Structure 1
Amino acid sequence: MEQIQYMQALYEMDVEPQEISNTFVDHFLIHFYQYSKKFYQEPPEVFFSKYLSFHFPRDCGGLLPQQTLDCIRALEERHSQCEGKLDRRTIRACRTACEEAKTVLPRLLDLKRRLRILTGEAVVQYAPLIIDINKYRQQRQPARKKEDFTERSYVETGYFQVLAVLSNQMVMLTKIGEEEKKIKVVLEREQLRHMRTGDILQLKVVRRLFYTTWDMEEVRGCYSPVGRSFLPV
């Protein structure tokens, strides 16, 4: 996309960062504006798909399904207001990416929110901000000594794709880039209910000595298969 035309259109959409932003939609539009300044040279199809399938779900801490839909619709509305200043290819690419995102992102960002709660993330919800005070206190405590982790001797980090959601409260994952490496992760039924085959999870997982299953220790992202082509692996 041509820089001056598109960035001028963004300015007229009123998504340029403001000093005070109070809602999750405000933060979403600011995030998109910052992304646009860096990646405006991408073809429109890549530009919108990369944002909605990788950058947004990577940087968002997790939203409720309706909040995610509100963000996507805000992006659509801002672009529709400036259709006269954008070429047809850009308009079409935005609409296509947004329609695709509506079918998967609400579930994925809700899944990320649920998994982060499961792994001890203190922030339960971002808009409005809800914090689990007990988990916050635990996070503020001094880190345990290294010898406390001797039992947890195996650690893996990276991007994992869901191969199967198993019936015994486990999910089978394969590590992207090391497809021969398959692991079983124990989860609660509520999290498994929101997971689908093909989902991509950016994780830190640990396995105790003498155990065959793994536990999630940190969740950094939840992506659809579309986002796989944009992963830095």
Structure 2
Amino acid sequence: MVEPVVVRFVPGVTPAKWQRAWAERMPAHPLEVRLAEQAEAVEAVRAGDALLALVRLPLENADERMHVVPLYEERAVVVAPVEHDFEAAESVTLAQVEAETVLPVGERARIEDGVPDPVKAAVELVAANVGVVVLPMSVARLHARKDVIARPVDDAPTTRVGLVWLRDADGPLAQEFMGVVRGRTARSSRGTASEPAGKAPKHAKPASPARRSATPARTPRDRSKGRGKRR
């Protein structure tokens, strides 16, 4: 039985389209994706329990043993209670947000407060009119409720999502997955894990043969005839 390729991903990241692309391209290597918090996802890669992880950058306690490849950026939004002044605005500024009570969220909140889901807890406090919280847009959508609203923060730093894996675990499977998430087609991918290294994939087109002239080569007799006609 073939062991699955395990990929951890943090909340807000939606790997479904990559799962579909992988299943079409690599049917001999099943993909298993598992939701995890940031620290858990990174630790799973370090421990060898996952080949790769889709995480938010920058990484805390990153080391030279890991490949870290940025994939895309996400806009920040502020989550506020319904009927807050922000509700009438299409977007707000960071200065407007900082004038409010901004609630802490993330791994630090988890460690300090022992909260099992710090984002959910923060959004619940927002709904109770305790303050506001700034989140990546996809995370805010994940925790959307009828009693809160979300507005883009125009000048807030964006958050980045990246792919990480151990350098020691680098190989065709890791490279193939990176190709999938970066949108490379099967033909343009660096290699296919089901094919031996250095061998062209079966679906690749063979190199075109050397181009030949459409007319037959002329013999010396033909050339002499040609010269006789010149004046």
TM-score over 0.5 (shorter chain) = no
TM-score w.r.t. length of structure 1: 0.23
The structure that has the greater radius of gyration is 2
TM-score w.r.t. length of structure 2: 0.23
| Larger RCO of the pair (alpha carbons < 8 Å, separation 6+) | 2
Bigger helix share: 1
